[in-house]
Amino acid sequence: MTQGIEIRMGALAPSLVEQLAPHGVSHEAAEYFDQLSTAITDLLLAGVLPDAQGKKCRERLFKQIDKELHRKKLQSAGAQP
């Protein structure tokens, strides 16, 4: 059975560092993802990035986070990435 996790993004969401640490993501990787998320939020709030494009950016960021979580899962299972 696959366990899902909830990740929240946006101006009022907890940092991705806080959200990803319990799932084994390195501090450096989580900080990088958090910086990207903050940049997307800043661009949305400034009106530079339209909502539809912001949604696409977040979807791409979610895919990167998912890849990192999958990589960590494989490492913890003893497999080589």
Task: Note down pLDDT in tens along the chain; length 81 residues.
Answer: 346 888 999 889 999 999 999 998 999 999 999 999 999 999 999 999 999 999 999 999 999 999 999 988 888 777 555
Between vectors from CA 35 to CA 29 and to CA 39, what angle results, nearest 5°?
150
> What domain range is 75 assigned to?
50-81
71 domain residue, yes or no: yes
30 domain residue, yes or no: no
CA gap 48, 3 in Å, rounded: 36
81 domain residue, yes or no: yes
Q: State the pTM of this model.
A: 0.84
44 domain residue, yes or no: no
* Number of folded domains that form the chain: 1
CA gap 22, 36 in Å, rounded: 20
75 domain residue, yes or no: yes
31 domain residue, yes or no: no
25 domain residue, yes or no: no
3 domain residue, yes or no: no
Q: What is the pLDDT of residue 80?
A: 55
Q: What is the pLDDT of residue 49?
A: 96
